[in-house]
Amino acid sequence: MPSSPAPGRIGPVGPHLRRARAIAACGLVVLAASLAAGCSAPAPPPAPAIKLSSAQVTQPSATGVTDIYVDVQNTGPADRLIGARLSVGGHVTLRSPVGTDVMDMHTVRAITIPARSFIGLDPNGAHLLVTHAGKMISGREITVTLLFAHAGAISVSAMVTNPATGGASYFLN
């Protein structure tokens, strides 16, 4: 005589019902794993360690030479400025003072940007010298892209100024 089903059960569990329960249990495990993976969403990328601001370029002289000054904020490890390019073309040279008390400038391969620092590329210190650039008109903006050894290419808008005619100037900002 067949045994009677346990209280609350309708009858013996057949192979089809056992298989259905196994598939459902497996599906729950996969679903739980998927949800767990989804809960640990990837962290947003860190903010760039280097930020550029207050970029100024003086209107080129009659010989087509000008300088660019930029403020560089570095919240990360030390880096090196190794080059630059402009939206108006031209050749950019990195310049730095020969010594601390001498105003003579010389061309350098890189400008060191210390860790966790604020560096102003300015007329009395390291800066960018531009030759053979396209037309730059006072009051208009151009794009300056600085190339760093570790941070890569970072762009900033730079206002073309003409201090001789009363235009905005890096020195007044």
Taking a C-beta distance cutoff of 8 angstroms, is the pair 80, 149 a contact? yes
Question: What average pLDDT is seen over the chain?
Answer: 81
Indicate if the pLDDT at residue 5 is higher than 60.
Answer: no
Give tens-digit pLDDT for 45-98. 666 799 999 999 999 988 889 999 999 999 999 999 999 999 999 999 999 998
How far is residue 147 CA from its own chain's centroid? 11
Strands (E), 59-151: 66-74, 79-86, 91-97, 105-107, 111-113, 117-120, 127-131, 141-148
CA atoms within 13 A on the CB side of 54: 15
- pLDDT tens profile 119-146: 999 988 999 999 999 999 899 999 999 9
What tens digit of pLDDT does each residue of 14-51 get? Answer: 565 565 565 555 554 444 555 555 555 676 666 679 99
pTM for the whole structure: 0.69
**CATH code for residues 50-172:** 2.60.40.1890
Q: Which residues pair with 146 in a beta bridge?
A: 84, 154
